Amino acid sequence: MKINDVVKAEEGEIFDIELDENILKANAELAQQNRELLRKQGVKAIDVMGSIGAGKTSLIEKMVQKLKTHYRIAVFKGDLTTTIDAEIIGKHGVNVVAINTGKECHLDANLVQKALRRLDLEATDLLFIENVGNLICPAEFPLGSEKRIVVISVTEGPYMVVKHPFIFMDADVAVINKIDLAEAMGVDIAKLQNDVKKINPKTKTVTTNCRTGKGVDQVIAALNL
């Protein structure tokens, strides 16, 4: 079947509060405050973004296991209403603050600022911030972190990167997870890596199987940790 036409949303036409310029500006200011606070306290903060089920929590768990003897780690875990992931990560003996956004489909700098107040920053070297599962609006809401990771999995199909260019533009590291399933899914990993490079040549791509831990050392190296 052939596509007859494409309806395109014009600037200002979308009925979505997230596109309100004032909100984005306020968020950017709060993100800057967070960034300055974290820098002053010597905390390295890393965002982890990706769709629901891509493997964000598994990646954080594996990095926490490998890094917790070198850094004093804390994790902010964004979710709508649950603390399931926060509890999973907390089992590794690091400080976890759950951030429940209610109906909001992304974290924002205000929520992160509130969470920062609940953390002993003097006793923290490294902070992972797991966003709500979403590849769209987190791109517009910087949180004040130093680096951003985007996790995608091969089970999401071959077009995850090209369909979500904005989230990859700002990503320092793109993690392609569940590579053990690539063949079964018929997904070409080299093509996904190339899609990332086309959007941002500076983004490092790493392939992982976060269930077994394969590739996690390379993610850590890509983050210079």
Instruction: By CB under 5 A, name the binding residues for Mg ion.
Output: 56-57, 85
Largest CA distance in the chain: 60
Dig out the tokens for 92 from the structure: 């590794």
Contacted by 105, from Zn ion, Mg ion, none: CB < 5 to 8 Å by type: Zn ion
The CA distance from 196 to 204, in Å, is: 8
Contacted by 137, from Mg ion, Zn ion, none: CB < 5 to 8 Å by type: Zn ion
Residues whose CB is less than 8 angstroms from the CB of residue 189 and which lie 6 or more positions away in sequence, other chains included: 154, 176, 179, 182, 207
Task: Report in angstroms how near the CB of residue 211 gets to Mg ion at its nearest.
Answer: 13
Q: Does 189 bind Zn ion (CB under 5 A)?
A: no
Q: Does 137 bind Zn ion (CB under 5 A)?
A: yes
> 42: alpha, beta or left, given left = phi > 0 and alpha = psi -120 to 50?
left
* Helix/strand/coil (H/E/C) assignment for every residue in 105-160: CCCCHHHHHHHHHCCCHHHCCEEEEECCCECCHHHHCCCCCCEEEEEEEHHHCCCH
Of the two residues 82 and 194, which places its CB atom closer to Zn ion in the complex?
Answer: 82
Of the two residues 88 and 220, which places its CB atom closer to Mg ion in the complex?
Answer: 88
Q: 214 pairs with which residues across the strands?
A: 209
Rounded to the nearest angstrom, the gap between the alpha carbon of residue 163 and the centroid of all alpha carbons in its chain is 17
- With CB atoms as reference, the residue minimizing the distance to Zn ion is 137
Task: Report in angstroms how near the CB of residue 89 gets to Zn ion at its nearest.
Answer: 22
Q: Does 171 bind Zn ion (CB under 5 A)?
A: no
Contacted by 85, from Mg ion, Zn ion, none: CB < 5 to 8 Å by type: Mg ion
Size of the site for Zn ion (CB under 5 A): 3
The CA distance from 149 to 63, in Å, is: 13
Of the two residues 44 and 106, which places its CB atom closer to Zn ion in the complex?
Answer: 106
Contacted by 203, from Mg ion, Zn ion, none: CB < 5 to 8 Å by type: none
Contacted by 57, from Mg ion, Zn ion, none: CB < 5 to 8 Å by type: Mg ion
Contact footprint for Zn ion (CB under 5 A): 105-106, 137
